[in-house]
Structure 1
Amino acid sequence: MRFVRGLISLVLWVVAIPLLLVAVARALPFDNVAPLPQLVAFTPWAPLVVLPLLIVALFSRRWVLTVLLGVSFAGFLYWTAPFFMPPETSDVANPADAGTVRVMTVNALYGQADADSVVSLVRSQNVEVLSVQELTPDFEQALTDAGLDELLAHSFTVPAEDSPGGSGLWSTTELTDVQQQHGSSFAMPSALVDVGGTAVRVTVVHPYPPMPDEITTWRTELVELTQRVHEDDAPQILAGDFNATYDHATFRDLLGSRFVDATREWGAGPAVTWPEGNRVPPLFALDHVVVERDMPVSDVVAMQVPGSDHRALVATVVVE
């Protein structure tokens, strides 16, 4: 009997330790040390495992484990609950209104995404601003052949051959004051877009991913982006593959008190976007539309794009 109890305790602790590490990683105010960026990404899923484990630990009277799991579960609820809390006014804004803009971001996976599907989404979703990451010259031409320029006539593109470093920005209205962030591994172009008479700076975001041996690069590029956007007084929208979830401290530092994550503000749950097209369903919300705190959002939805390992993310942003 003692052996069985000992075995049960061992199994419970073996399962619990990774979950407790995820909770610790999420609670820390930094994420620039491996494996924190990898651990913290599992925060939205951890409570689904913690709860049954907590019940077993409680009824088996393993008090230390019960307390640790209870505190962790409370933390996970606190961190994830806002994603399921719709705003007081959750009506869908009309993209046709002059003061709104329908924004879409998609990672094209080295230009392997299906261009016809991307253009079809732009058309069906009434997209007015499109952010594309991992843009290659061939994919840009494929978008043109599929009719993108007929829907979004203005563009600023920085394609890259045989590399994930290319990006592009398309709009229904003229792009002015085009800029390109220097020093980043991947192109992050931006431009002013007219939305109902308000000039809004839209930035295509794509920092280097937080691979275990490249965490410093990932964080440095996000920190530099943070400095750049917070120094700009113009109203802004950031759209792209941030290679970070809301649970990453570096991403929350980028938001600060000025910006908000559209998915979290809409309150329909995390819009998981990666990895797409595998046997494992998408688990992580790496793609975001980030807006000024005083810009209401609505109808935020992730949508499949054949050929890409990311889902596209679409959101309506009310500028004024």
Structure 2
Amino acid sequence: MLLWMCCALIGLWMTLRDIPGRYDARRPLPELIALIPLLWIPTTVVLIVAVSTAAWPQSIVAAALLCAQLLWHSAMYVKLPKALLRIYGLPDHLESPGIATVPPQSSSAAVPDDGAGIEEQRPTLKLMTLNCRFGRADAQSIVQLVRNEGIDVLALQEVTPHLLHSLESCGIRAELPFTVTGEAQADDNGGSNALMLRSKPSASSGSAIDIPAAATPTATLTIGGRQLRFASTHPKSPGRGGLFWHRGIESLGALDSAAGLPKMETVILGDLNSSLYHPVFRTLLRTSAFVDASYQLHSGYHRTFPSSWRYVPPLIEIDHVLITPGLRPVSLSTSAIPGSDHRAVIASIRLL
């Protein structure tokens, strides 16, 4: 009976992944859904116990549950057929660009005529995003990582004036001399958001979209003759209100489609407090132009939270780099920063 109860509980928990997006704002559903990627652990335990006690019906059910979970995980490692992605409720992967994405004026005798060779010559940017945990992240460690990685755009969340001053004292301006900070407002959750850039932006805003959270600053850079918009954002965590959390994630699509924003390639960086297991996040990716860089790379999960537990590695991936189709993710990694409970995400992106 106990094994059947465990199987039923795990099965019901798994179904939360596919509830309609309008319902996942009801707490504690966001928190429960965030833990679904970890259900393989208790499922494996149930399967081992069931097999060892010759409880074959329960073994079959536990094995089926585990297989379903592994299929969900597989989308982070391999490119799955579109039909299967739709069954799983996952967004499509970007198609390989090939030579067709190269503007005609880029062709010349000096450029290789294979798509891969042309793509490698495109401008590449190094980006980093970090939740600074109420401004407690170690400024010297941030500056050192920026310097070591050659970061071009740094997005910070939960920034305080004290942290900004500490970053300046540690020499951040020698690497990233231009800063755009979010407008202070009553909805700031843990602090404000900020962008630090190596190049001077041609345009910027302290509050680009209407979001029930800390203001989302944006900056526009001209790279390779094209304009790119960068945004640092931080939707509220479910603990600050499930509806605020839900609406905050929904609002991010406006960074590509809002009437008041010029149309251009856009990069969203930040602690989005959600993962591909949350229906509202998958809906954002399906209904907007954005794609998750980690999902697109097929290199596995890049777990970022919590990173402050001494003997436990980060468990979930809630910090993201979202890009529009004119960009391509090249690599993505994470790095621990003392004082923060999130790992920094470092991404290389290439213009197509």
| TM exceeding 0.5 | yes
- Residues 13 and 186 from structure 1, CA distance in 2 versus in 1: closer, same or farther, beyond 3 angstroms? farther
Instruction: Tell me the equivalent position of 2:155.
Output: 131
Within the alignment, does 1:73 sit opposite 2:66 as a pair? yes
- 1:34 deviation in Å? 2.3
Paired letter, 1:204: S
Within the alignment, does 1:21 sit opposite 2:51 as a pair? no
Distance in 2 (CA, whole Å) between partners of 1:118 and 1:251 is 28
Within the alignment, does 1:296 sit opposite 2:310 as a pair? no
Residues 192, 200 of structure 1: 8 Å contact kept: yes
- 1:245 deviation in Å? 1.3
In the TM superposition, 1:223-262 aligns within 5 A as: 223-231=250-258, 233-256=263-286, 258-262=289-293
Distance in 2 (CA, whole Å) between partners of 1:228 and 1:152 is 23
Residues 100, 196 of structure 1: 8 Å contact kept: no
Secondary structure, counterpart of 1:60 in structure 2: coil
Secondary structure, counterpart of 2:203 in structure 1: strand
In the TM superposition, 1:263-282 aligns within 5 A as: 263-279=294-310, 280-282=312-314
Secondary structure, counterpart of 1:44 in structure 2: helix
Instruction: Tell me the equivalent position of 2:106.
Output: none
Within the alignment, does 1:208 sit opposite 2:236 as a pair? yes
Q: Indicate which of 124, 144, 158 corresponds to 1:120.
A: 144
Segments of 5+ residues of structure 1 without an aligned counterpart are 1-8
Residues 22, 42 of structure 1: 8 Å contact kept: no
Q: Indicate which of 146, 152, 156 corresponds to 2:180.
A: 156
- 1:141 deviation in Å? 0.8
Residues 295, 318 of structure 1: 8 Å contact kept: yes
Secondary structure, counterpart of 1:284 in structure 2: coil
Instruction: Tell me the equivalent position of 1:217.
Output: 244
Residues 204, 239 of structure 1: 8 Å contact kept: yes
Residues 20, 69 of structure 1: 8 Å contact kept: no
Distance in 2 (CA, whole Å) between partners of 1:305 and 1:197 is 34
- 1:26 deviation in Å? 1.2
How many residue pairs end up in the alignment? Answer: 305
Residues 134, 160 of structure 1: 8 Å contact kept: no
Instruction: Tell me the equivalent position of 1:173.
Output: 199
Secondary structure, counterpart of 1:318 in structure 2: strand
Distance in 2 (CA, whole Å) between partners of 1:291 and 1:137 is 29
Secondary structure, counterpart of 2:130 in structure 1: strand
Distance in 2 (CA, whole Å) between partners of 1:319 and 1:123 is 22
Paired letter, 2:144: S
Segments of 5+ residues of structure 2 without an aligned counterpart are 80-92, 98-116
Paired letter, 1:234: M
- 1:43 deviation in Å? 2.5
Instruction: Tell me the equivalent position of 2:54.
Output: 60
Could you tell me the TM-score, scaled by structure 2's length? 0.78
- 1:14 deviation in Å? 4.6
Within the alignment, does 1:108 sit opposite 2:132 as a pair? yes
Paired letter, 1:240: G
- 1:77 deviation in Å? 1.8
- Residues 93-147 of structure 1: per-residue CA shift (max 9 Å, x gap): 9xx9661111100011111110010011111111100000011001001111111
Distance in 2 (CA, whole Å) between partners of 1:55 and 1:29 is 33
Distance in 1 (CA, whole Å) between partners of 2:59 and 2:192 is 49
Could you tell me the TM-score, scaled by structure 1's length? 0.86
